[in-house]
């Protein structure tokens, strides 16, 4: 059980870090939209999609760990 909790904590920390990566990306995206810089917007959108992929992976892992904890309990 303790190892599951440690895995959950690590997964949540990784997920939090990925969300923190999104803030500057969102700010850059806003600037690109305001300045009508379509090339920069495309680059930012690609980066944003990559970060969303990481978040999705961590979210799936978190759900799996929670499921395993439920089985143990």
Is this structure's pTM higher than 0.85?
Answer: no
Tens digits of per-residue pLDDT, 7-61?
999 999 999 999 999 999 999 999 999 999 999 999 999 999 999 999 999 999 9
Q: Which residue has the tokens 């799936």?
A: 60
- Beta carbons of 32 and 48 less than 8 angstroms apart: no
Tens digits of per-residue pLDDT, 23-38?
999 999 999 999 999 9
DSSP designation for 55: H
């Amino acid at each position: 059980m303790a190892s599951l909790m440690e895995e959950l904590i690590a997964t949540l920390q990784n997920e939090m870090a990925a969300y923190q990566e999104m803030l500057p990306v969102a700010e850059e995206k806003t600037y690109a939209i305001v300045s009508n810089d379509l090339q920069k917007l495309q680059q930012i959108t690609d980066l944003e999609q990559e970060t969303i992929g990481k978040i999705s992976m961590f979210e799936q892992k978190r759900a799996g760990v929670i499921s395993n904890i439920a089985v143990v309990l």
